[in-house]
Amino acid sequence: MGGGGMDPKDVFSLGLGLNEPWKLAGHRLDVEKRPHELHLEVVADRGALFPCPDCKRACKAHDFESFTWRHLNFFQHHCFITARVPRIDCPDHGVKRVTVPWARAGSRFTLLFEQAAVILAREMPVAAAARFVGITDKRLWRVLQHYVARAVGALDLGSVRAVGLDETASKRGHNYVTVFIDMDRADKPVIFATPGKGKACVAAFRAFLLSHRGEPTRVAEVVCDMSPAFLAALATSFPKAAVTVDWFHVVQIFTTAVDQVRKAEARRIALAELETGGFATAAAYRAKEMLRWIRHADTPQAARWRITRFINHIGTGLDPTAMLDPVRRALGTVATHTERIIQRWKSSHSNARLEGLNGIFQAARARARGYRNTATYITIIYLLAAPLPDILKSI
Ligand SMILES: [Zn+2]
């Protein structure tokens, strides 16, 4: 090609980021395939030395094997790279397959292809991103899991002082996942997600914190719900932390109580055992509505006074019918956790943070649709909501 134009080989080499001893030997367009396939052949200079993957010592090739990688589409064509990759015989590490500069060890995709796929998966459901790049969602999940795990491994949690935790399920009522957030981070707050719920999750978080430059004794506050398993585990794993019960969870237990009373009452009415329908539901609802009055207290003292009034007033006024037992249980829970609930008035952390998690959980479920299990759900929660600035950096 004249006039200083670039050789097509150089264009492809540039796109691959090829460097010595690797160079492009040829290209072939397969028009039998739909979409057409562009195949690039990469070879190493004869007699070249290759770095040992363990110690980087330059070694001679021992033997070769041919591998193929899927690369970024070249315009509308699917693009593949084939190369004969040597094994070297390192005096210290023995016979090892060398790592090629365009792909990570063990992957059948080039780094540029994986980078494009990860960027797409941040913007759309994983199944859609997989269709777009022309691979199965199972393979895209494997790529995502690799990069997310590596970026999560590099998280520095040395500055974590206040933690919020909540549980979610990848499917309704199944496969619980417990998620921990840094209460001081407004954006991308998720720092740990683990399968299960309860005691073991808190211990797992403590271990994770320790292995990521965190210090459990410097965690001064933990915001959570009133689950006895969590609370017991927090006392042993984070002995210095003040525990704050999130207001959102107080409202939640009364919402559940109203619902249970309403269902029980509807059954009774259906059996025509009651003359005046709806009295129990109304009583349960009044209890829930009174929470608003507590929430608007200005000081911890005022909150304590209102909670005491609430428990006494609602509790003594409640009809003894068994139908109202869910409300009695909810009142008992509030009585047990009064101090932790009042902690909210002393805390500088907004309880909007934990409520915000619900939006993240919903988005993550939608992104993982079609291939959702505990592992994929956790991967996508991290991808959407964890501070992972380095996820693509080393590609
Ligand atoms: Zn070596």
CA 115 / ligand 1 centre spacing (Å): 29
Tell whether 280 is covered by a domain: yes
Tell whether 121 is covered by a domain: yes
pLDDT tens-place string over residues 199-220: 999 999 999 999 999 999 999 9
* In a shared domain, residues 251 and 355: no
Tell whether 1 is covered by a domain: no
CA 88 / ligand 1 centre spacing (Å): 9
CA 67 / ligand 1 centre spacing (Å): 22
CA 379 / ligand 1 centre spacing (Å): 34
The whole-number pLDDT of residue 1 equals 38
Tell whether 3 is covered by a domain: no
Handedness of CA 101, 104, 108, 109 (dihedral sign): negative
Confidence band, pLDDT 50/70/90 cuts, at residue 3: very low
CA atoms within 13 A on the CB side of 287: 35
CA 340 / ligand 1 centre spacing (Å): 57
The whole-number pLDDT of residue 315 equals 84
Average pLDDT score, the chain: 89
Secondary structure (3-state) at 321: coil
* In a shared domain, residues 233 and 272: no
The whole-number pLDDT of residue 182 equals 96
* In a shared domain, residues 206 and 253: no
CA 97 / ligand 1 centre spacing (Å): 11
CA 57 / ligand 1 centre spacing (Å): 6
CA 24 / ligand 1 centre spacing (Å): 27
CA 90 / ligand 1 centre spacing (Å): 5
* Residue 268 reports pLDDT greater than 90: no
* In a shared domain, residues 35 and 132: yes
User: How many CB atoms are located within 10 Å of the residue 153 CB?
Assistant: 9
Q: Which of 150, 179, 198 is where one domain is finished?
A: 150
* In a shared domain, residues 216 and 358: yes
Put the strands of the sheet holding 242-245 in their side by side order: 190-195, 174-182, 162-171, 221-224, 242-245
Q: Which of 118, 150, 182 is where one domain is finished?
A: 150
* Predicted model pTM: 0.85
Contact 227, 249 (CB under 8 A): no
In single-letter form, the type of residue at position 170 comes to S
Distance (Å, whole) CA 236 – CA 222: 13
Tell whether 392 is covered by a domain: no
What is the arithmetic mean of pLDDT over 53-64?
Answer: 94
> In degrees to the nearest 10, what's the CA dihedral of 217, 219, 221, 224?
-100
CA 381 / ligand 1 centre spacing (Å): 38
CA 148 / ligand 1 centre spacing (Å): 29
CA 23 / ligand 1 centre spacing (Å): 24
CA 64 / ligand 1 centre spacing (Å): 18
CA 54 / ligand 1 centre spacing (Å): 5
* In a shared domain, residues 113 and 31: yes
CA 86 / ligand 1 centre spacing (Å): 14
CA 49 / ligand 1 centre spacing (Å): 13
CATH number at residue 207: 3.30.420.10
Q: Which among 373, 351, 383 has a CA at the least distance from the CA of 190?
A: 383
Tell whether 30 is covered by a domain: yes
CA 21 / ligand 1 centre spacing (Å): 19
The whole-number pLDDT of residue 275 equals 54
Confidence band, pLDDT 50/70/90 cuts, at residue 188: very high
* Residue 254 reports pLDDT greater than 70: yes
* In a shared domain, residues 169 and 271: no
* In a shared domain, residues 27 and 49: yes
Confidence band, pLDDT 50/70/90 cuts, at residue 4: very low
CA 89 / ligand 1 centre spacing (Å): 8
Confidence band, pLDDT 50/70/90 cuts, at residue 145: very high
The whole-number pLDDT of residue 166 equals 92
CA 96 / ligand 1 centre spacing (Å): 8
Tell whether 262 is covered by a domain: yes
* In a shared domain, residues 284 and 369: no
**Structural domain containing residue 264:** 247-346
Distance (Å, whole) CA 96 – CA 356: 48
* In a shared domain, residues 179 and 257: no
Q: Which two tokens stand for residue 77?
A: 């064509």
CA 103 / ligand 1 centre spacing (Å): 20
Confidence band, pLDDT 50/70/90 cuts, at residue 273: low
* In a shared domain, residues 59 and 173: no
* Residue 12 reports pLDDT greater than 70: no
CA 98 / ligand 1 centre spacing (Å): 10
H helix runs in the chain, sequence order: 8-16, 111-123, 126-133, 137-153, 199-210, 228-237, 247-270, 279-295, 300-317, 325-336, 338-346, 352-367, 374-385
Contact 189, 181 (CB under 8 A): yes
What is the arithmetic mean of pLDDT over 302-314?
Answer: 94
CA 336 / ligand 1 centre spacing (Å): 62
* Residue 80 reports pLDDT greater than 90: yes
What is the arithmetic mean of pLDDT over 262-272?
Answer: 77
CA 8 / ligand 1 centre spacing (Å): 36
In single-letter form, the type of residue at position 394 comes to S
CA 212 / ligand 1 centre spacing (Å): 29
Contact 180, 193 (CB under 8 A): yes
* In a shared domain, residues 83 and 164: no
Q: Which of 83, 118, 150 is where one domain is finished?
A: 150
Rg of the chain over all Cα atoms, to the nearest angstrom: 29
Confidence band, pLDDT 50/70/90 cuts, at residue 155: very high
What is the arithmetic mean of pLDDT over 224-245?
Answer: 91
The whole-number pLDDT of residue 140 equals 96
CA 53 / ligand 1 centre spacing (Å): 7
Q: Which two tokens stand for residue 297?
A: 């207290």
CA 55 / ligand 1 centre spacing (Å): 4
User: Which has the minimum average pLDDT: 44-53, 110-119, 385-394?
Assistant: 385-394
CA 59 / ligand 1 centre spacing (Å): 8
* Residue 33 reports pLDDT greater than 90: no
Describe the crossing of helices 374-385 and 137-153 by its angle, rounded to 10 degrees. 60
CA 347 / ligand 1 centre spacing (Å): 55
- SS3 percent helix, strand, coil of the chain, rounded to 5, is 45, 25, 30
CA 50 / ligand 1 centre spacing (Å): 11
CA 393 / ligand 1 centre spacing (Å): 26
Total count of domains within the chain: 3
Distance (Å, whole) CA 147 – CA 119: 11
Q: Identify which has the larger pLDDT, 190 or 319.
A: 190
